[in-house]
Structure formats: structure tokens, C-alpha cells
Amino acid sequence: MRPEQLLPHRPPFLLVDEVVEIDPGRSAKGYWKLTGEEDFFSGHFPGRPTLPGVLMVESMAQVGAAAALADERYAGSLPLFGGIEKARFRRQVVPGDTLELDVELEQMSSMAGRGRGRATVGGKLACEARLLFVVTRPT
């Protein structure tokens, strides 16, 4: 599924190419193929391009948002970061890598939620974090 079908994000800040599995309100899996043409690689770092860790966390959050927004209780809402806990970065992610994103929503209420995200490359852990978010309703 194209992430734009669920997410309000758009390029250049849409950091998921496809959502490949979704269990509404519970979990989602997706991926982000890094081509090397992304603007941030030119400055992070010249001669040794590396995906910024904060963008790894954001891409996980976007996959988690897709899982939340696929649940009819949250359709049309806007999930916003409420916090990031226990983020750990385990390996460098570089142009040509495909970031495999897996998020499980552990707790959901009408106004907030919490999930656990993992990003891997070729099955090797690149990043993991607990993601907290708040849900804003359309006005």
C-alpha cells in the first residue's frame, strides 16, 4: 500500500516507500529505500553519507502512524510525536540500503498511544525505540 493512502505526510518528509503489512490499530511493516539522492546525504556527511538517526526514528513513527490511522477509531486524525524512549542506534545506514520498518502498537487510548519500533537492514538491527504519540482530531 502506498503510505499516502493513510498518512498525511508528503515528500520531502514522507520517509516510507511502501507499507507491506498492516493490522489496523496493532502493527505495521514497511520499508524505505535509500537511493543516495536524498538531500540530507550531501551534508551528513560529505564523503561518507549516513542516514541521520532522527530520520530512522521518524520513518518508524510514520509506519506506526499508518497502523493507527488504519483503525477506524483514528481515521482522519493527526498523530503527533509525544516522546521517544530508549532509542538505540546499532549500525550505520547508507545510500543503497533498504530500511525495513516494523512497529507494534502496545497501548492505545482515544487521545494517545505507545509503540515499539525496529528498523533493520538485511535483517540486522539498525535502530530500535519506544514511540509515544498523541492523536489530534480534525477540527
Residue range 100-124: mean pLDDT, rounded = 96
Domain that holds residue 125: 3-136
DSSP for the chain, written as a single string: --GGGT----TTS---SEEEEEETTTEEEEEEE--S-SGGGGTS-TTS----HHHHHHHHHHHHHHHHHTSTTTTT-EEEEEEEEEEEE-S---TT-EEEEEEEEEEE-SSEEEEEEEEEETTEEEEEEEEEEEEEPP-
Residue range 74-98: mean pLDDT, rounded = 96
**139 falls in which pLDDT band (50, 70, 90)?**
low
- Output the domain CATH number for residue 74: 3.10.129.10
In the chain, the percentage of residues whose pLDDT exceeds 70 is 99
Predicted TM-score (pTM) of this structure: 0.96
In the set 1, 25, 26, 44, the catalytic residue is 44
Respond yes or no: is residue 44 known to be catalytic: yes
The total number of structural domains that make up the chain: 1
